[in-house]
Chains A and B, each alone.
Chain A
Amino acid sequence: MTAALTGVGVTSFGRQPGPDSVEWQVEAASLALADAGVDADAVDTLITGYSTVASHLMPANLFAERFGIRPATAFGMSVGGATGLAMLAQAARLVASGTARHVLVVAGEDRASGQTRETSTRTLAQVGHRRYEVPLGGTVPAYYALLASRYLWTYGLEPASLAAFPVQMRAHAARKLGAQFQKEITVEDVLASRPVAEPLRLLDCCPVSDGGAAFVVSAAPTGDRSLEIAGTGQAHRHQHLSAMEPGASGASLAAQRALAEADLSWEAVDVYGIYDSFSITVTMLLEELGLTPPGRAGAYARAGAFEVDGRYPMNTHGGLLSYGHCGVGGGMAHLAEVAMQLRHERGASQVGGAEVGYVHADGGVLSAHVGVVLRRRS
């Protein structure tokens, strides 16, 4: 595939009242275009993610008009938390096919300030089956809590094994400007936080945030900092938890498709961005990807495997768990962070000699998967 990631932009995440969804998108897009050195009027294709706060039939037109651009192609996408990487994958295909020259990918949402917690919870719970799951009263945290319960029982583990991930993500966020939560926490803090959906507690769950993120994908590099989008892969094997095949959610399939397209194996990957909506999410993804043995992800985390100098440096911005989660933009921040690592721009958090990065996002209840392999250009 010939596609370049020429720019990334991520705003600060947090409870930041004021801007609405489109205004967060505008801020993120401005950052990404400046990063790429691409003028707004050079964007010929626009792909936007949905906003749960400001649901709209035509999110791409809405953004384009407000931003003041007139792209030849514009459309919105929605595959839950995987949307950001799915938009990037689509952008890469459009430039590789010669259809587009500069694709702007953008998402942003005032998810924390623009709606009540009840509205947010109810909206997100609709990823459950309308007739077979939603009437039971579940929520997204409940669905993941059921996965966590099954996981802990299967491997004979205690909740403390999951708690290692929020602790690691907080340690990363403490060193990242713009993160929602930066005060370091311990496993004891996680276990003492209030139960949300047992065995998951408040600190096992990502926050809801205001913010935005954007990428520029181009047919050719715009400078030395441009990266190669070496491979993308997707899998869509179910929507609802009740239809999920245990151990075969699609995570591994998407990753193998992305690695195959890049003609690389895991050994080549230096830095990771793995979706971490809950402690159990990143745990299950790491194990299904085959990066840690089954039941051992938490032990790896406690041993420092996901630190900057660990075996699998991961989510060095703090992930959804601590940088924050503003919806589609939340899953894009992982890729922006990996891009900065591959450009060797992360200062004290720099992963030494990073050449290849892998980013993975899932939407729904491990329902939609997208993997992306990025490579530093030699």
Chain B
Amino acid sequence: MERRRDDWTADVPVLMVTACGRCGNHWYLPHEHCPVCGSDEVADVAASGGGLCVAVTRLHVTAEPTDAAAGPVRLALVELDEGPVVMGRAHDDALSPGDRAVVSFRPDGHDGVLVPSFAQAGSA
């Protein structure tokens, strides 16, 4: 059974991470056990939404031709303050690795689904 979380995948505008009650490890994707220590004492916590941008790409060849028509898709990896690395869209052309990034939630996913999207901290 996949853990269901009240996060952006359920249309709730928040990034959730999971904390291990035994070793303190934090992660993003749902796991039933802590991949570091094996504990099942795990609890979901809402992330602050801020972090360090560590990667960006502008994707010119998309799986869905309708996505490509709107121009390159920008994706980013952001290392959240809580530790885990999260993949999101980037709606800020200037966002680059090394920048402080903040998340917002936008209907930019395929078919207009709500997805996390990052911008430089302090930008509009």
Q: Which residues of A contact B (CB under 8 A)?
A: 118, 121-122, 125, 129, 131-133, 135-139, 141-142, 145-150, 153, 194-200, 237-238, 240-243, 246
Contact = CB atoms under 8 A, between A and B. Distances in A.
B57 interface: yes
A136 B114 CA distance: 9
Contacts of B85: 242, 246
B47 interface: no
B93 interface: no
Contacts of A147: 55
B23 interface: no
A146 B63 contact: no
B122 interface: no
Given A153-B55, A199-B57, A136 B97 contact: no
Contact of B87 (A125, A132, A153): A132
A174 B72 CA distance: 34
Given A153-B55, A242-B28, A136 B115 contact: yes
A6 to B, nearest CB: 39
The secondary-structure label for the interface of chain B is mixed
Contacts of A243: 27-29, 31, 35
Interface string B16-58: 0000000000011101000100000000000000000011111
Nearest to B56: A149
Contact of B64 (A122, A146, A196, A199): A122
A137 B54 contact: no
29 contacts: A129-B29, A132-B28, A132-B87, A135-B109, A136-B75, A136-B87, A137-B59, A137-B62, A137-B67, A138-B87, A142-B59, A142-B75, A145-B59, A146-B56, A146-B75, A146-B76, A146-B87, A148-B55, A149-B56, A150-B55, A153-B98, A195-B58, A199-B57, A237-B35, A240-B29, A241-B77, A242-B28, A242-B87, A243-B29
B58 A135 contact: no
B75 A138 contact: yes
Contacts of B60: 194-198
Contacts of A142: 57, 59, 73, 75
Contacts of B64: 118, 122, 137
B104 interface: no
A149 to B, nearest CB: 4
Contacts of A122: 63-64
Given A121-B61, A131-B9, 18 more contacts: A129-B29, A132-B9, A136-B109, A137-B63, A137-B67, A137-B109, A139-B63, A142-B73, A146-B57, A149-B57, A150-B55, A196-B59, A198-B60, A200-B57, A241-B77, A242-B28, A243-B27, A246-B85
A136 B88 contact: yes
A213 to B, nearest CB: 27
B76 to A, nearest CB: 8
